[in-house]
Amino acid sequence: MKRFLSLVLISTLLAIPTTTAAPKKITVKPLKLIATTSNKIGVAGVIALGKSIVMFGTLGDKSFARAIDVAGQELWNISLDPNSPSVATAAGVDSVGNLWIAGATSLERATTAPTPTSTPLNPDNVTNVPDIFSTNLNAIALWRIPAGTSTPILYTAVQPSPVLVTAMALDKVGISLVGLTQSGKGNSGFVISANLLGEFSKALLIGQVSTTLDAVARNSDGTVTVTGASAETLNGKKVVGVIDGVIIKVSSANTVLSILRSSAPKAKRNWSSASPTLLLGGTVNTGKKIESAVTKFSKTYVPSWTYRFGSTGPIFTLGSMYAFFTSTSVIAQLSNWAPKKPQPVLLTFDTKGVMSGAFSAPSDQAEVIGLTSSNELGILCVTVNAQTISIYSQR
C-alpha cells in the first residue's frame, strides 16, 4: 500500500508543469548631459583624456585637436601639422596619459622662391605666392601629445599611395593602425604597427579591389585582430553577400593567420568597431532594412552571443559590455522603448550576454559619433545634431 501511495505521489509530482518566470524587462534610463559644444565643424572623433574631452579632426586641409572640460570650456586648441596638408581620423590614450592621434599627411612642404640679388620692378605690388608641390596624403601620421602638454610630436611612415587611417589600438607595447589605401584596381585595407618611440613596421596590405579595414584590437599574445568589410575573395574565401564583414587575425610577424567572413545573402555587412575583449559592432544592410549587430567573440573567434537591432547603421562597442547606436525600432528586452524617430541608446550586457541596462539620449540627437571612457569621467556617449556636439555620461 505504501509503495502504491508513493508511486501515486511521484506520478502527481511529475505531472505538475514547471514554469519559469519571464525575465523582467529593463527600464530605459536617461543619459546625463555633461557638456556641449557648437564648434563641431570638421570633428572626426572624440576621446576622453583624464578629466578632459578631446575632439580631433580636419578643418580645410589642416588637422587639429582641441580639449574641453566637463563644463564645455575650451582648455587648448592646436594645429597638429601647421606646415602641411593633413587629416586626423583616429585617437587613443596610453597607460601613462599620452594622447596619440593618427591620420595622414603630405611630407612635401610649401616652398618660396629664393631671395633675388636685386629687387625687381613691381609696379602692381603683387605678392609672391608659395609653390605647393603636391597635396597627396601618402604618409601615415602619428602625433603624440605628452601627458600634461598640448605640444604634438609627429612621426610618419611614407606609403606608395594615399592613405586613410580609420582606427587605432594601443597598449603598453605599441600601437596598431588600420585603414585603406589606393591600389591599381581599387582599394586595399592596410595594417601597420609602431612602437612607442614612433618607429613603424612595414604596412601589410589586405585585398586588392574592394577591402576596407575599420577597427583593430591588440591581443595579449602579440597578434592583432582587424575587422572591416570586403567584396572580393580573400585567401581563397569568396564573397557570399554583396559585401561581407571580415575578421582577420594578423601575427606578430605581420602575416595573415586567419580570415573569417560574416555573410548574408544579398546583404552588405561590416564590422566597424572592435574592443580588446573582441566585442564587435557592425552594420547589416539588407535592401531597405538596416540593423546594428553586436557580437561577443572568443579568442578563437567563436561567437559567444549576438544581437541585432533596427538602427540607422553605425554602432560603437566598448570593453566587454557596452554598445551604443541609434535605434529605430522596439527592443524586446526593454519595457519603455518604441522610438517614433531614430534615437541613441546605450545598452549594457553581463558576462553571459544578457542585456543588463539601457540608457538613452534625447531623440533630437540624430547621430552617434563616439563611445569613450576614462577613470575620471566614466563611460561617455557622444552625439551630434545640426547645432551641437553633445557628451553624455552613464553615471
Alpha-helical (H) ranges within the chain are 2-15
pLDDT band of 22, cuts 50, 70, 90? low
Query: How many C-beta atoms surround the C-beta of residue 297 within 10 A?
Result: 21
- Alpha carbons within 13 angstroms on the beta-carbon side of residue 189 total 29
pLDDT band of 316, cuts 50, 70, 90? very high
Cα 103 to Cα 84: distance, rounded to the nearest angstrom: 13
Q: Which CATH class is domain 23-107+133-393?
A: mainly beta
All residues at 6 or more sequence positions from 12 whose CB lies less than 8 Å from its CB, including other chains: none
Cell numbers representing residue 261 in the block = 567572413
pLDDT band of 18, cuts 50, 70, 90? very low
Cell numbers representing residue 83 in the block = 606646415
Least confident of 19-28, 37-46, 386-395: 19-28
Taking only the tens place, the pLDDT of each residue in 53-76 is: 999 999 999 999 999 999 899 999
Residues in the chain: 395
Average confidence score pLDDT of the chain = 88
Cα 73 to Cα 354: distance, rounded to the nearest angstrom: 39
Q: Rounded mean pLDDT of 16-23?
A: 48
Instruction: Check residue 14 and give its pLDDT.
Output: 37
Instruction: Check residue 30 and give its pLDDT.
Output: 97
Taking only the tens place, the pLDDT of each residue in 179-224 is: 999 988 999 999 999 999 999 999 999 999 999 999 999 999 999 9
* Res. 134: pLDDT tops 60: no
Instruction: Check residue 118 and give its pLDDT.
Output: 41
| Pairing relationship of beta strands 267-274 and 187-195 according to DSSP bridges | unpaired
* Res. 264: pLDDT tops 90: no
Query: How many C-beta atoms surround the C-beta of residue 260 within 10 A?
Result: 17
Q: How far is CA 128 from CA 72, 82, 111, 118, 119, in A?
A: 41, 20, 11, 15, 13
* Res. 8: pLDDT tops 50: no
Q: Measured on CA atoms in the order 311, 316, 322, 326, is the torsion positive or negative?
A: negative
Q: Rounded mean pLDDT of 377-381?
A: 97
- pTM summary value: 0.87
Cell numbers representing residue 275 in the block = 574592443
Instruction: Check residue 222 and give its pLDDT.
Output: 94
Cα 184 to Cα 67: distance, rounded to the nearest angstrom: 40
* Res. 17: pLDDT tops 60: no
Q: Rounded mean pLDDT of 345-349?
A: 98
Instruction: Check residue 284 and give its pLDDT.
Output: 97
Q: Rounded mean pLDDT of 334-352?
A: 96
Taking only the tens place, the pLDDT of each residue in 74-133 is: 999 999 999 899 999 999 999 999 999 999 999 875 444 344 444 433 333 333 333 333
Q: Which DSSP letter does residue 208 get? A: S
Q: Rounded mean pLDDT of 269-287?
A: 97
Show me where the domains of the chain are located. Answer: 23-107+133-393
Q: In what order do the strands lie in the sheet with 244-250?
A: 211-218, 224-230, 244-250, 256-262
Q: State the residue for C-alpha cell 518604441.
A: 338
